[in-house]
Amino acid sequence: MQPIIKHSVITTYGVLCSLIVGFLLGRFYLLQGQLIEWIGIGTAFRPVFNAVWLLAVGTLIYLVHHTTGQLPKPLPKIKAEFKQTGTASYRYVLLQMVIPAIILTSGTSLGPEATLVSSTALYGIWLMEKCRYLNANWSQLWHRGGWTVLGAFLLPHRYRQTATPHTKERIWTPQTIGFFVVGVISFYLTCKLGGEPSVIVYLGQFNWHPMELAWLLPLMLLGYLIGQLELRLTQGLTALINKWFTHKVACLALGGIAIYLASLWLPAINFSGMANFHLLATSWQQQSIGFLVGSALLKLILLVICLNTGWIGGDIFPVLFCATAQGIAISQLLPHLNMVFVVGVIAISMGGTILESPLVAGGVMGIMFLPPNMLIVSTLVTAILVVAERVAFPRMALLGDQLRQQLLPSNYEN
């Protein structure tokens, strides 16, 4: 009977903590959206205000790096720390859901997903440490009773047991998967009840026709080749920034100037691409090929500059915004094909290549931006890309990894 009670109590505790974590992440998402709307960078031509605000945010980033380190904490750093020590420092996890929200108001061409992923990982490590301690010390806790039991459940900084470093411990168990699902539901409900509009923006309608399927592989290859070209361009730009801008103040100045110019002349490339995806579903479908390709490339350049100069954030939605805009441009060259089909295949192929994660690109595009009856197509494209990445081009992937290790780490962290 006691093992059943033990499992039930620890599971209930994990579920309650997951609900709280989901709520906190939801509040961060709402906060950054509200602050962006309130500050209003790019909503009007305000040269002086934009300059003053960017200077203030740049100063904040500089101070944060000299006190707490980069916020949000980079996911690769969390993984490396966890592998070496069996834990990761989550001392500033609450602060990193406030500071990045302020940074995103500057118009940096990045999104909130970096903070969401980083915070989820840190909260997850903390929760597993609490559950691991409770599971290992259950008998002793109940023998002591009273305040000891209460403290073990309520004190976040005590009664934790880290994982054994350098050992392969199963992270995704039925229990942790359940906690993750509860957290996602809590996050969704917090955003929904907080008035956040739906993030699902369908690009149009798709009507099945055999002719489209004949173009599937050619379009995938085209998207992959363009994605590879742009990936190499981003890596080259990263190398140039790391070579020529070696001081933190110079890095921040470069990023701030780039964001400032965009906010005045092309504000659509500011912020996360998710916030502007409605443009791709409406007015930008009538824009010229030159405008679409030019805007996409400028946003990609701004994205790389921000990532390497301290104006950090998530790159998933910005990259998919760029890929989708170029997909619309390519669809104009193929008017006999369904526009949404062309855009979907190009965006997943190109975005998956630039992000180096077809699963992320295919999952986000298939769920959030492509109509439901294109789910089979998006799944097929994603599956082919995954197989090609892991089986057909293993040598290419190895060379790409070696190149990225040499070029991609930001000099701002050095």
Q: The domain that contains 289 carries what CATH number?
A: 1.10.3080.10
- State the sign of the Cα–Cα–Cα–Cα dihedral 132, 138, 140, 143: positive
Do 94 and 158 sit in the same domain of this protein? yes
Closest listed residue to residue 344, CA positions, set 376, 302, 307: 376
Domain-located, residue 281: yes
Do 298 and 234 sit in the same domain of this protein? yes
Do 186 and 219 sit in the same domain of this protein? no
Do 291 and 180 sit in the same domain of this protein? no
Do 266 and 400 sit in the same domain of this protein? yes
Omega prior to 409 cis, within 30 of 0: no
Domain-located, residue 186: yes
Question: Poorest-confidence range of 36-40, 191-195, 296-300, 390-394?
Answer: 390-394
Do 16 and 127 sit in the same domain of this protein? yes
- Residue pointed to by tokens 């380190």: 69
pLDDT at 413 over 60: no
Domain-located, residue 102: yes
Average pLDDT score over the chain: 86
Do 261 and 154 sit in the same domain of this protein? no
Specify the pLDDT at position 213: 82
Q: What mean pLDDT do residues 275-290 have?
A: 86
Q: Give me the helices (H) in 68-137, please.
A: 75-85, 99-104, 113-136
Closest listed residue to residue 271, CA positions, set 14, 18, 35: 35
Q: What mean pLDDT do residues 365-388 have?
A: 89
Q: How many helices (H) and strands (E) does the chain have?
A: 18, 0
Q: Is 205 helix (H, G, I), strand (E, B) or coil?
A: coil
Q: What mean pLDDT do residues 82-103 have?
A: 90
Q: Which two tokens stand for residue 153?
A: 């459940």
**Which of 164, 193, 222 is where one domain is finished?**
193
Domain-located, residue 367: yes
Go through 295-310 and write b for each residue having 16 or more CB atoms within 10 A of its CB, e for each that does not: bbbbbbbbbbbbbbbb
Q: What mean pLDDT do residues 45-52 have?
A: 92
Give the other-Cβ count within 10 Å of 47's Cβ: 10
Query: Quick one: 244 exposed, middle or buried, by C-beta within 10 A (0-12, 13-18, 19+)?
Result: exposed
Domain-located, residue 141: yes
Specify the pLDDT at position 166: 66
**Which of 166, 193, 220 is where one domain is finished?**
193
Domain span at residue 342 reads: 210-413
Share of the chain above pLDDT 90, in %: 45
Do 124 and 253 sit in the same domain of this protein? no
Domain-located, residue 134: yes
Specify the pLDDT at position 410: 47
pLDDT at 73 over 50: yes
Give the other-Cβ count within 10 Å of 152's Cβ: 20
pLDDT at 294 over 70: yes
Residue predicted with more confidence, 409 or 255: 255
Do 218 and 258 sit in the same domain of this protein? yes
Q: Which pairs count as long-range contacts for 41-49, CB under 8 Å and 24+ apart, including other chains?
A: 41/105, 41/106, 41/107, 41/263, 41/267, 41/270, 42/107, 42/262, 42/263, 42/267, 42/268, 42/270, 42/271, 43/267, 45/264, 47/264
Q: Using one digit for the tens of pLDDT, what is the confidence trace for 239-261? A: 999 889 888 899 999 999 999 99
Closest listed residue to residue 157, CA positions, set 133, 140, 137, 138: 133
Q: What mean pLDDT do residues 144-165 have?
A: 83
pLDDT at 214 over 70: yes
Q: Phi and psi dihedrals of 30, rounded to 5?
A: -65, -40
Q: What mean pLDDT do residues 158-177 have?
A: 81
Specify the pLDDT at position 321: 92
d(CA 409, CA 399): 16
d(CA 62, CA 44): 27
Domain total in the chain = 2
Do 361 and 260 sit in the same domain of this protein? yes
Domain-located, residue 204: no
**Which of 165, 193, 221 is where one domain is finished?**
193
Query: What DSSP state is assigned to residue 263?
Result: H
Angle between helices 375-387 and 339-355 (to 10 degrees): 30
Domain-located, residue 203: no
Do 95 and 12 sit in the same domain of this protein? yes
Q: What mean pLDDT do residues 163-182 have?
A: 82
Specify the pLDDT at position 389: 75
Q: Phi and psi dihedrals of 334, rounded to 5?
A: -130, 65
pLDDT at 412 over 50: no
Do 49 and 146 sit in the same domain of this protein? yes
Q: Could you tell me the pTM of the whole model?
A: 0.83
